[in-house]
Amino acid sequence: MSKKGIETLVGLFVLLGILALVFLALKAANLASFGQRDGYTLLARFDNIGGLKVRAPVRSAGVVVGRVTSIKLDPKTYQGVVTMEIEQGVQFPRDSSAKILTSGLLGDQYIGLEAGGDDKNLAPGDTITQTQSAVVLENLIGRLLFDKAADAGSSDKAAPAGPKK
């Protein structure tokens, strides 16, 4: 093989490597799907959205059924309003609930939808009323430390001062 042929193959190999890295970067950032999917929009209001991000998955029974399209603050209620795009073929009953969950202990957050039992389904643009906000790890640790400190303070007062002489 000539020197020019080898250089061409090496260049092609480098180009394929760069394309593979771009693909992995897009997959890691949840941007791999460039096309607009057919779906419908649902809204949910949360007191605390934690670290939820736009393009986070919406899952039901562990299956991705949509994506978060926007997150805004309602200036009247001071709640986070999350807009989700749900795949067209997937319908949820009106009394379904939405929770902000975490993948693993410290993983990314996503919205978990649990189907209710109502006969009528949510229509495009409807708001899911039953929601559970994100569990913030720092708040749990702070509450645990506060409770331990309160228990230690109350046990010091209840303990006898020592033997009486």
Written as tens digits, the pLDDT of the chain (165 aa) is: 788 889 999 999 999 999 999 988 877 765 655 555 678 999 999 999 988 999 999 999 999 999 999 999 999 999 999 999 999 989 999 999 999 998 877 778 899 999 999 899 999 999 999 998 887 777 778 888 888 888 887 766 655 555 655
Nearest 5 degrees, angle CA 131-CA 137-CA 139? 85
In a domain, 89, yes or no: yes
The pLDDT of residue 157 is 60
In a domain, 85, yes or no: yes
The pLDDT of residue 50 is 85
At 67, give phi and psi (nearest 5°): -140, 155
Strand order in the sheet with 109-114: 127-128, 39-46, 80-87, 63-73, 57-60, 109-114, 97-102, 130-132
In a domain, 161, yes or no: no
In a domain, 143, yes or no: no
In a domain, 157, yes or no: no
Domain count of the fold of the chain: 1
Which domain covers residue 62, as residue numbers? 39-136
Of 41, 32, 58, nearest to 110 by C-alpha is 58
In a domain, 3, yes or no: no
In a domain, 62, yes or no: yes
In a domain, 48, yes or no: yes
